[in-house]
Amino acid sequence: MGKKAAASTNKNKEKRQARKLEQRRIADGMSYVTSANKLTDLASLCKELMIYRNNDLEVDMYIQKVGELEKNVLQWAIDLTERNMKKLYETCAWGWNKERKVEEMTDDNAWYLIAKSKSGSLLAFSHFRFDMDFGEPVLYCYEVQVEAEGRRRGLGQRVLNVLERLARATRMRYVRLTALTHNPAASAFFRACGYSLDETSPPKEEAAHYEILSKATDGEPAGDHCSLSDGMRAVHVAAAES
Ligand SMILES: CC(C)(COP(=O)(O)OP(=O)(O)OC[C@H]1O[C@@H](n2cnc3c(N)ncnc32)[C@H](O)[C@@H]1OP(=O)(O)O)[C@@H](O)C(=O)NCCC(=O)NCCS
């Protein structure tokens, strides 16, 4: 075989190997997502984070699939989302469509983290899902919503800490989320908690009203403190470990 022909054969071989590896990486990711969605006791993966105390605030958290949530808890989550987000949605290209939001929040794959004070009041929740996103297994945070009286007491940060721990334990590569760019409180919050612009975020000229933020799961173990320096970017998690 001539030199040129040999080089071309090698290149083709490399391409085939790269394609195989990519297929394997995606298949692994899908199997992690399937396994995560089959778990019945997610809270056991982050037990010590499920109780939160800050001065006079004492909060218990629990995690359930949407179908297991009590009806009044789901209704409260929908109402809180409307109270917190309606105006923000109305002032951007998306607009507020309650029916569509309820449909999203009641999707069979929706998981809920609920935070309740010791006295019984519902204070915060997150709707999240394990999913493939742009070919990668991610924990997608659809909502993090805190009641006005529960804010600036570290509760939102703790909710994210729980999601980060779950993502790591289930081999998701990122906690990823969509944030409205005209919601400065949320932007400051997510960035203070180590989230940064994700590579899948659309260019500003295409979509100025929202951005995709993420935090990789391969950094330091999720602690209790926000860290401005912890906005780690993508590095390969061992999808091919197995
Ligand atoms: C955004 C939100 C989830 C933050 O929850 P929270 O429990 O108040 O946040 P924390 O107390 O954990 O804040 C952690 C850090 O984030 C930053 N932060 C939080 N809220 C902020 C705000 N309004 N302005 C500026 N920085 C803020 C701060 O650095 C804060 O630390 P500090 O209080 O020690 O300064 C809450 O304000 C909320 O539910 N807002 C309405 C709904 C919403 O916008 N959700 C997010 C989009 S899905």
**Predicted confidence pLDDT, tens digits, the chain (242 residues):** 688 888 888 889 999 999 999 999 999 999 999 999 999 999 999 999 999 999 999 999 999 999 999 999 999 999 999 999 999 999 999 999 999 999 999 999 999 999 999 999 999 999 999 999 999 999 999 999 999 999 999 999 999 999 999 999 999 999 999 999 999 999 999 999 999 999 999 998 888 899 999 999 984 443 333 332 222 222 222 223 33
Rounded-to-integer distance, Cα 137 and Cα 175, Å: 9
| Residue 232, pLDDT score | 26
Coil/strand/helix, residue 93: coil
For the chain, what is the domain count? 1
CATH number of the domain where residue 52 is located:
3.40.630.30
Q: Is any atom of ligand 1 closer than 6 Å to the C-beta of 188?
A: yes
**The tokens of 95 are what?**
């607009």
Q: Is any atom of ligand 1 closer than 6 Å to the C-beta of 183?
A: yes
Q: Is any atom of ligand 1 closer than 6 Å to the C-beta of 115?
A: no
**Residue 237: inside a domain, yes or no?**
no
**Residue 238: inside a domain, yes or no?**
no
Cβ contacts of 89 within 8 Å, gap of 6 or more = 95, 96, 180
CA distance readout (Å), 17 to 12, 31, 167, 240, 242: 9, 21, 29, 13, 17
**Residue 134: inside a domain, yes or no?**
yes
Domain that holds residue 47: 3-216
Residue length of the chain: 242
Q: Is any atom of ligand 1 closer than 6 Å to the C-beta of 154?
A: yes
| Residue 169, pLDDT score | 97
Under a CB-based contact definition with an 8 Å cutoff, are residues 151 and 202 in contact?
Answer: no
Rounded-to-integer distance, Cα 139 and Cα 167, Å: 6
| Residue 2, pLDDT score | 82
Report CA 51 to chain centroid distance, whole Å: 20
pLDDT in tens, 151-176: 999 999 999 999 999 999 999 999 99
Q: Is any atom of ligand 1 closer than 6 Å to the C-beta of 127?
A: no
| Residue 85, pLDDT score | 98
| Residue 4, pLDDT score | 81
**Residue 222: inside a domain, yes or no?**
no
**Residue 125: inside a domain, yes or no?**
yes
Q: Is any atom of ligand 1 closer than 6 Å to the C-beta of 146?
A: yes
Under a CB-based contact definition with an 8 Å cutoff, are residues 42 and 87 in contact?
Answer: no
| Residue 94, pLDDT score | 94
Q: How far is the CA of 217 from the centre of ligand 1 (A)?
A: 21
**Residue 236: inside a domain, yes or no?**
no
pLDDT in tens, 9-26: 888 999 999 999 999 999
| Residue 161, pLDDT score | 98
Rounded-to-integer distance, Cα 75 and Cα 184, Å: 27
| Residue 55, pLDDT score | 94
Pocket test for ligand 1, best of 82, 114, 152 (most atoms within 8 A of CB): 152
| Residue 45, pLDDT score | 97
Q: Is any atom of ligand 1 closer than 6 Å to the C-beta of 77?
A: no
Nearest CA to ligand 1 atom 35: 152
